[in-house]
Amino acid sequence: MSASGGSKAIVAAFAANLGIAVAKFAGYLITGSSSMLAESVHSLADTGNQGLLLLGRKRSTRRADEDHQFGYGRERFFWAFVVALVLFSLGSLFAIYEGIHKVQHPEALESAPVAIVILLAAIGLEGYSLRTALLEAKPLRGSRGLLGFVRSSKNPELPTVLLEDIGALAGLVVAFTALMLSWKVDPVYDGYGTLIIGGILGVIAILLATEMKSLLIGEAASPEDLARIRSAIQANQQVQSLIHIRTEHVAPEEILVATKVAFVTQLSVDDLARAIDGVETDIRAAVPTAVLIYIEPDLDRNASRV
């Protein structure tokens, strides 16, 4: 996926969440609903989160320097991890705190029909944002389900937007249900709804933080890319055997390959250099994102091949 891939989903989510946050907060001021307040803070946090994702993409394009010789590609992982922290602290913990308060001190809603209209409009906007993210992710997902895509993707932005949009839609449905129950049955349901929203945001934040932590530490190439790299090396006529290989994503679209290869014997220094160049060319042809390749020629002493 190109560095620009996913930007449309981020911008769509930013615009939708900004409009939704304003509408929800107006609804809270009119109705006094804690569910609406929790959703207002949630949408405000999501709006800031899209800005952080865009900041990460911008900063990741800086050229490599002496302090960061492999570049700044991991900036995108870092800012996505910050998004998870914001979602947990500003979204989940706030909603849980507000929910506990409203359960202990329930208050009757005012102008509930106004809140219902706002929530229905918000559901429509969040649906548009989710649809955009799904379309952006479709070429990358393949046959994988959403959870499988989130768990295996090296792109931090699209899984983040997808999780946020899914959480937002789930939260809106909960807020709508809680508001109706509070209006028609008992005001305490508003607090229960707020607690559920906090729980949903907490689960999403923990899942997102776990995945981004893994990328920050350094994930290997996908099994498919690793298999193509192995095949490219072993198919080269100058290669006797592949002794050792390690890979790591230094950016979403940049893979570092470090490998030890046994070449055919009796090659001159010039021939060996050309053979190494040929293997590098074969690897890049098979996996274009393998941009950093280090090949160490060695003798095969029946080492365990990994």
Torsion of the alpha carbons at 185, 186, 191 and 195, rounded to the nearest 10: -50
Rounded to an integer, what distance in angstroms lies between the CA atom of residue 33 and that of residue 167? 19
Q: Which two tokens stand for residue 109?
A: 């809603």
pLDDT score recorded for residue 257? 97
pLDDT tops 70 at residue 304: no
Kindly report, as residue ranges, where domains of CATH 1.20.1510.10 are found in the chain.
7-217
pLDDT tops 80 at residue 305: no
Give φ, ψ of 89 to 5 degrees: -75, -50
Kindly report, as residue ranges, where domains of CATH 3.30.70.1350 are found in the chain.
223-297
Rounded to an integer, what distance in angstroms lies between the CA atom of residue 220 and that of residue 150? 16
Q: Under CATH, which architecture does the 223-297 domain have?
A: 2-Layer Sandwich (3.30)
Asked if residues 60 and 73 have their Cβ atoms less than 8 Å apart, the reply is: yes
Cβ burial of 97 (10 Å; 0-12, 13-18, 19+) is middle
Q: Which two tokens stand for residue 255?
A: 């893979």
pLDDT in tens, 102-127: 899 887 777 778 888 888 888 888 88
pLDDT tops 70 at residue 6: no
User: What CATH number labels 7-217?
Assistant: 1.20.1510.10
pLDDT score recorded for residue 3? 42
Rounded to an integer, what distance in angstroms lies between the CA atom of residue 72 and that of residue 75? 6
Query: Residue type for 68, please?
Result: H
Asked if residues 109 and 187 have their Cβ atoms less than 8 Å apart, the reply is: yes
Q: How many CB atoms lie within 10 A of CB 196?
A: 22
Report which of residues 107 and 258 the model is more confident about. Answer: 258
Rounded to an integer, what distance in angstroms lies between the CA atom of residue 236 and that of residue 231? 9
| pTM for the model | 0.79
